[in-house]
Each structure stands twice: as structure tokens, then as C-alpha cells.
Amino acid sequence: MLDKHPIHTTISTEALRILERYEKELGAKNTVLERALLGMDKLRFKEKVDAHSISRLIKRVEMGIPGVDELIEGGMPEGFVIVVTGPPGTGKTTFSLQFLMEGLKKDERCIFFSFEEKVEQIIKQSIRFGWDIGEYIDKGYLEIFGFTMLSTEEIIEIFNVFKPKRIVFDSLNTFFDIHEFRRSSQWRSILKEIRDKKISCLAITEKRHGLEVKEFDEFDFMGDGVIFFDKSQRHDLDPYPTYYIQIQKMRITKINEMPHPFIFTDRGLELIGNRGLTKRLGEPSSSGQKLIKELPSVRDKDIAPS
């Protein structure tokens, strides 16, 4: 029997296979061969990995919300799971539907899994922004599962049959127990499918606090990216809140972490251009809420009551 010995962990599987074959033939471990193969691997690795080629290898998916892609090097990396999070009524569902619309315009198949809303309500919400999603459903490019009670196996089966490029889960809190989901076999099998099939996924989650509180949950740690939604009112009687979006995390991406104000237009969400947002959230402040209120408001000029 061959002696078990530690093999260098950076050796490629291909090289490992060659090594194992020769060692079997020789009936003993062969450190000379191992070192040679390791050296060859390193040379190949050097050739392959440089900043330019890596950037070219990462396929960016345009999210379709004017202003957002510019904050994340042109788009989210394909096959990522992005957590879209924030308190209630801050635009998470609208943003996610707009992300699917962008895919549909490019003839990509898309699925919206809603665990709380009915299909009719989602369609109504889309029609308000002029998105004719009925047409895409008829053509077979869009599937909406409203008030869904699907099992993990059924979701995976849907992936296999429908072959989506973009999906949305609204929301993960209603589908998974927040404390157990990362380790759960259900989530791990869904995640494996998403990775294997390079599906770009938005996972909506719920927060009981706004941007002023730096508190992260299990979903945030799991996500390849985190986009936080919030709104603030200047005073209690202020009828029109200002909505904000902040990219809090995006793996393998240089991000603009400023909170950016956005508006609801008649075509969906749109980020307001650079309006001199000079203050960063997260700066020491006795009152985080005060800091949000110090950000320039765009409301008066840009947001018309709907």
C-alpha cells in the first residue's frame, strides 16, 4: 500500500491525477515528480492570472436600474446571489421586477418567486411602470410563482425545465428560518444549482432597521452582494419620503458605497445623479438617523406625488 503523505494543496487536480498514476506504478511516493508538477502548475497559474484577464473572465450582468450599474463596475457578476434588503415599503420588489425586465428585454428567461404576494398583485405593480409582463409570460420568457408553497426539489426542477438566467426570491425570510438556512440542505442545493447554471439571483430579505444601524444578519453574510434600501422623512408630517439605495457589498467588485437617493418614475426606479453626497453613512455620529437627514434631499424637485 502507498504511504499517505501530505500533498501540496495548490497542486491542480489534473497534476494530482498524473502524480497518483505514477506513484501507483512506482509503488511509492515520488517527491521529485510532485515538485516538478507543482512548479509547472505555478507557471501556468502565473500566466493565467493577471488583473486584466480576471476582469475579462467576470461576466457582468446589467441590472437595468438607471445609475446602479455604474456603482458596481458595470453590473453584477453573473451567477451571483445579491441580497436586496431593507425595511418595509422601500422599493425592494419594484427594483427586483425591474431587474427581471432588463433580462426579458434581452430575451433571457426569468422567474419571480413570491412567497407572499399573489401573481395578480405583482402584475398590477408592473403595469404601473409600463412593463408589459403579460406579453413575456405569454411568450414563455417569464414565470411568476405567486404565494408560492414550492418545495426545494420543485424549485430545482423548475430551474432544470425553464432554464432561467435571472431569478428573484421575494422574500427569503418567508421561505427560510434565518438562523438555520445557511447550513440547511435546502438552501445549499438551491445555491449549488444557481452556481452551476450561472443564474443571476436577487434574494429579497427584510430588515427591521434602516441604513443608520450597522447590523448584519445571516442573509447578508451569505450574499455575494448586499444592496440596502431605505427611506427617510425630514419630519413626522413630511408626506414624501426620500428613498435611498446603498451598495454595501459586492464580491470581486470595486463598489461605490455612498447611499444614493432614487425616485419612482413612471418607468420604474432611477438613481438621482451625483448631487454632492458628501457625507458617508457610518461616520461617527451620535444619531444615525440625524446623519440620513443631513444627506441632501432630492425630494422637493424630483419626486412628484403619484
Using CB under 6 A as the criterion, which residues of the chain lie in contact with ligand ATP when the complex forms? 88-94, 128, 229, 264, 306
Site for Mg ion in 260-289 (CB under 5 A): none
* Closest to ligand ATP by CB, 69 or 230: 230
* Smallest separation (angstroms) from ligand ATP to the CB of 94: 3
* Closest to ligand ATP by CB, 162 or 240: 240
Give 3-state DSSP helix, strand, coil % of the chain, rounded to 5: 40, 20, 45
* Closest to ligand ATP by CB, 121 or 189: 121
3-class DSSP state of 130: coil
* Closest to ligand ATP by CB, 130 or 296: 130
- Residue 88's binding partner out of Mg ion, ligand ATP, none, with CB under 5 to 8 Å set by partner kind: ligand ATP
User: What's the Cα-to-Cα distance from 169 to each of 21, 146, 173, 200, 274, rounded to whole Å?
Assistant: 46, 11, 10, 11, 31
First to last CA, the chain: 77
| Cα 153 from Cα 296, distance rounded (Å) | 47
* Smallest separation (angstroms) from ligand ATP to the CB of 170: 7
Nearest to 211 by CA among 275, 290, 158, 273: 290
- Residue 39's binding partner out of Mg ion, ligand ATP, none, with CB under 5 to 8 Å set by partner kind: none
- Residue 89's binding partner out of Mg ion, ligand ATP, none, with CB under 5 to 8 Å set by partner kind: ligand ATP
* Smallest separation (angstroms) from ligand ATP to the CB of 264: 3
Concatenate the DSSP letters of all residues of 262-306 into one string. EEEETTEEEE-------PPTTS--S-HHHHHHHSPP-HHHH----
Q: Based on the shown chain and the rule CB under 5 A, indicate whether residue 173 belongs to the binding site for Mg ion.
A: no
Q: CB–CB of 168/201 below 8 Å?
A: yes
| Cα 293 from Cα 157, distance rounded (Å) | 47
| Cα 96 from Cα 205, distance rounded (Å) | 12
For the window 78-117, what string marks contact with Mg ion as x by the rule CB under 5 A?
---------------x------------------------
* Smallest separation (angstroms) from Mg ion to the CB of 95: 9
- Angle subtended by helix axes 92-105 and 119-127, to nearest 10: 80
Q: Which helix (H) or strand (E) holds 76?
A: strand 76-77
* Smallest separation (angstroms) from ligand ATP to the CB of 204: 7
Helices (H) and strands (E) in the chain, counts: 11, 11
* Closest to ligand ATP by CB, 74 or 241: 241
* Smallest separation (angstroms) from ligand ATP to the CB of 180: 23
* Smallest separation (angstroms) from Mg ion to the CB of 243: 13
Q: CB–CB of 254/77 below 8 Å?
A: no
Q: What are phi and psi of 226, to 5 degrees?
A: -135, 125
* Closest to Mg ion by CB, 95 or 141: 95
- Residue 148's binding partner out of ligand ATP, Mg ion, none, with CB under 5 to 8 Å set by partner kind: none
For the window 42-81, what string marks contact with Mg ion as x by the rule CB under 5 A?
----------------------------------------
What residue ranges bind Mg ion (CB under 5 A)?
Answer: 93
